[in-house]
Structures are given as C-alpha cells and as structure tokens.
Amino acid sequence: MRRMTKRFALAILAPLGVVTTLAGSAQSADLTAPRLIEPPPELPSWTFRVVPYGWLMGLNGSQTVRGRTTKVNASFIDVAEKADTLVGLMADFEARNGPLALYGDVVWTKVGLSGNHLRTRSLAPGVTGTLGTSVDASTQLGIVEFGAAYEVARLGALGVDLTAGGRYWYQEADLSFDLLGTVGAGDLAIVGGRAIAKSGSVDWLDPVVGGRLRYTIAPGHELFLRGDIGGFNVGSKFSWQAIGGYDFDFGAYQGITFSGIIGYRALYVNYVQGQGRTRYEYDMLQHGPVVGISMKW
C-alpha cells in the first residue's frame, strides 16, 4: 500500500517539477537576455532668437499737439539728415517650442523734422495772435510689441502662423513755430522768437491679431511675411502693420547660428485724445527698410 501511494505521488509531482524547472530556466534566460527597448520620442525643445536691427523710418501723416496740427511727409533719408534724430534701440525676440512661439519687439527712437517736410494746417482753438509758417517737430517714440504665434498649417516648406498680442505706444512730442506777433495762450511756451507746444507723455495699449507666413527656399534661407491689425478703439482708433523680408544664415559659433535679415516694415496708427487746446493726435504711417543680424540657439 505504501509503495502504491509513493508511486502515485511521484506520478503527480514529476510533471509539476518539470514545469517548475522549465519556468525557472525561462525566467533566468529572461533576466540574462538583452532587452530591445525603444527609446521614448524626443519632446520638442525651446529654441531662441534675438535680432538687433535698424529700421530706417520714414513718416507720412499728421501730428497734433495742443490743438496745433502739422502735416508730415518725410522719407527715411529726410529723417536721418536731421541732427537731433537718433537711430535708437531696436530689437526683436522669439522663443519657439514646436508649433508655439512667444515674441517681443522693442523700438525706441527720437525723430526730428523741420523745413519742407512739415506743413501747418490749423491754429489751435483759443490761440490769439500770429504764428509763422516755419515749424520744427521732435518726437520721442517708444513701441513695445508682445504676443504669441501658433503654427496652424505646414504645407511642405511653407509654415502658416496665427498671432495675437498687444502693442504699447509711448510718445513725447514738441512742435515749435516762429513767433511773428503777440500770442495769447497759456499752454504755449514762449522761448525767444519761438512758440513751443509740448504734448507731455502720451501712452496707450492696442490689442492686435494677425498672421505670418514662413517659406524655406533652401536650408538656412527663409522668406517671411507678417501682418496684423489692432486698436479697435480700445487704445487707438485703428492700426495695421506689414513686414516682409529675407533671412539667410551666414555662420555659426559655439552653438549660435548667425543670420542676416533684410526687409521692409510699414506700421500705421491713428490715435486721438482730448479736444480743443488739449487735443493730441498721431495719425501716421511709419515705414522703411529693415536691416538686422539674427542670433539663434
């Protein structure tokens, strides 16, 4: 009886032992065999671009300070010839991660005009006396743009972005006229033979929306076109901007790619505040060539 029981137990346990041995061998082989694991896909990383540039700005439009309106018609050569005009600070910045980009742009300059480029249009309400036709104008101008762009389409070498953000304006403007007689106006400063109207500091913020096209014509060579509209009576009555140009790589150093940028920029705004002798208006198209150097990393 004991022998039968022993044989029965061996008959049952023997297959189990074989299965256990095979499972252990397979597990050992699993531990020692090299595993082929696919690396996770690389996530998009941030890239950055800084562009110091010069905007050779011409002006066409009109400016009103203390109710006195002057019509402006000057090319960038005319503006550059004025002794007190400064090239100023101009720079563009962009940070991109995949389809998303954050951008900023700064313009700070001083524009001076006189002579044939200016023409007076009206005497300020409440001003009695005579002012001459000779007029000088000087404007300190600051523009800060900021916003985001998102690539909504990629058609081969063509990328299409939508943009949205804001444009902040800061100005201080002076108009000075020849004084030919007695002028009765407490808001005009009389200096020698000149009557000077000063705006003080004026600033406003415009919301803007737009789009951008980027076309790669060859590795390291890109054409770009950007446009936007803004204002909508939130800050200014209305504004628009158009920029087009060519970006080409010409060298690299320690991970930084250097590119040249040439193009043309036009920016229009119509802003009004106040009435009568407190009226300030800037109805101006600023336009001209853009030349800069881009640094990307």
| Whether the predicted pLDDT of 114 surpasses 80 | no
Residues 35-39: what's their mean pLDDT?
62
Within a 10 A sphere around the Cβ of 217, how many other Cβ atoms?
Answer: 11
Q: Which residue has the higher pLDDT, 276 or 207?
A: 207
Q: What is the pLDDT of residue 112?
A: 82
Burial 268-290 (b: 16+ CB within 10 A, else e): bbbbeeeeebebbbbbbebbbeb
Q: What is the pLDDT of residue 138?
A: 86
Q: What is the pLDDT of residue 120?
A: 61
Q: Per-residue confidence at 18, pLDDT binned at 50, 70, 90? A: very low
Q: Write the pLDDT tens digit of every residue in 161-171.
A: 999 999 999 99
| Whether the predicted pLDDT of 134 surpasses 80 | no
Cα 86–Cα 248–Cα 87 angle in degrees, nearest 5: 0
Calpha distance 173→205 (Å, rounded): 18
Q: Is-contact 97 135, C-beta < 8 A?
A: no
Q: Which residue has the higher pLDDT, 86 or 243?
A: 243
Q: Write the pLDDT tens digit of every residue in 55-80.
A: 999 999 999 988 888 899 988 888 87
Q: Write the pLDDT tens digit of every residue in 178-200.
A: 766 555 555 666 666 666 778 88
Q: What is the pLDDT of residue 237?
A: 97
Least confident span in 175-189, 196-210, 236-250: 175-189
Amino acid at 207: P
Cα 205 to Cα 108, 148, 266, 271, distances in angstroms: 16, 16, 19, 11
Residues 137-155: what's their mean pLDDT?
95
Residues 213-228: what's their mean pLDDT?
97
Q: Per-residue confidence at 26, pLDDT binned at 50, 70, 90? A: very low
The tokens of 26 are what?
Answer: 């397979």
| Whether the predicted pLDDT of 250 surpasses 70 | yes
Q: What is the pLDDT of residue 19?
A: 43
Calpha distance 41→36 (Å, rounded): 15
Strand ranges (E), the chain: 47-55, 58-65, 68-74, 86-97, 100-114, 118-122, 131-155, 158-179, 189-191, 194-218, 221-230, 238-253, 256-273, 280-296
Mean of the per-residue pLDDT values of the chain:
82
Calpha distance 113→84 (Å, rounded): 9
Q: Write the pLDDT tens digit of every residue in 262-287.
A: 999 999 999 999 988 889 999 999 99
